């Protein structure tokens, strides 16, 4: 054994023992220290989907607001009304419950700026809440009959909320106008059937509630068909409709 072998290793030119990296020191001290140093120096990983979630939520919320805005000033019949809750439901399917609630709140705030708080509330209740409800039902893959009935109940509550809210603002009981419309409809039906019946106020109100529920049932059914045809093409399919609907629509 020579004297040169017993001497310590000399540092490389331009470097010092203090300037050696933790990687070099870990190689000499062992694998365990090397692993600890690497884990300590590893930069924190960022969530890549966070900006995408925020952008899509804002975009779909503004889409729902824009559909309501256009339909209010340039009504195109029932075409645009079908898609009132669909953008918020799509947010739920893509990003979950929290993002859907944020989209509903954002839509209401945007409409509050563009159209005022009154029309903003008329959108949020029921269509904003309906979008969250339908998104939750479709995400859980519940049958159509369940989601349609849940949406019908929410839509019925929204109709009563609309009547109550507008009655408070106008200072008149708008429910009386609804009762008058139903009374005229029942009188026309009884006249066509040749029945001489004068229904009581109680049955007229029951008929008004039944008519509102029936209208909301038909509306939710059409919304499901529109969402079924649209969201399948966007890569976020909803539960399959009953077989007779698929045969009627001739959809593979």
Q: CATH number of the domain at 191, please.
A: 1.10.1760
Asked if residue 43 is part of any domain, the answer here is no
CA distance 68 to 247: 32
Asked if the structure places residue 200 within a domain, the reply is yes
In a domain, 14, yes or no: no
Q: What are 4-43's pLDDT values in tens digits?
A: 454 455 444 444 444 444 444 444 444 444 444 444 555 4
Percentage helix, strand, coil, to 5, in the chain?
A: 75, 0, 25
**Cα angle 212-215-216, degrees, rounded to a multiple of 5:** 85
Whether the full predicted model's pTM is greater than 0.85, yes or no, is no
Tell me whether residue 45 is in a domain: no
Task: Please check whether residue 26 lies inside any domain of the structure.
Answer: no
Q: How far apart are CA 82 and CA 12, in angstroms?
A: 75
Whole-number pLDDT of residue 161: 95
Domain count, the chain: 1
Distance CA 20, CA 25 (A): 7
Residue 116 lies in a domain: yes
Asked if the structure places residue 75 within a domain, the reply is: yes
226-239 in b/e form (b: 16+ CB < 10 A) is: ebbeebeeeebebb
Task: Give the structural domain span for 75.
Answer: 50-249
Give dist(CA 192, CA 91) in Å, integer: 48
Q: Is residue 32 part of a domain?
A: no
When mean pLDDT is compared across 31-40, 89-98, 220-229, the lowest value belongs to 31-40
């Amino acid at each position: 054994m020579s004297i040169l072998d017993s001497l310590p290793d000399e540092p490389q030119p331009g470097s010092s023992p203090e300037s050696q990296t933790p990687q070099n020191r870990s190689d000499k001290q062992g694998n365990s220290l090397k692993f600890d140093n690497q884990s300590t120096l590893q930069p924190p990983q960022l969530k890549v989907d966070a900006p995408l979630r925020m952008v899509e939520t804002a975009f779909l919320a503004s889409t729902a607001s824009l559909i309501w805005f256009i339909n209010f000033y340039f009504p195109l019949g029932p075409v645009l009304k079908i898609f009132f809750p669909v953008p918020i439901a799509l947010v739920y399917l893509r990003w979950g419950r929290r993002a859907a609630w944020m989209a509903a709140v954002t839509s209401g705030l945007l409409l509050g700026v563009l159209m005022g708080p009154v029309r903003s509330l008329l959108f949020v209740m029921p269509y904003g809440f309906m979008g969250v409800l339908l998104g939750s039902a479709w995400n859980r893959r519940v049958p159509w009959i369940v989601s349609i009935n849940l949406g019908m109940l929410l839509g019925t509550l929204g109709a009563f909320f609309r009547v109550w809210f507008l009655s408070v603002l106008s200072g008149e009981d708008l429910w009386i106008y609804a009762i008058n419309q139903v009374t005229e409809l029942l009188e026309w039906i009884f006249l066509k059937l040749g029945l001489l019946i004068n229904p009581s106020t109680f049955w007229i109100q029951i008929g008004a509630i039944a008519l509102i529920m029936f209208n909301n049932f038909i509306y939710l059914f059409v919304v499901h068909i529109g969402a079924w045809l649209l969201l399948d093409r966007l890569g976020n399919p909803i539960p399959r409709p009953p077989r007779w609907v698929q045969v009627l629509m001739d959809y593979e």
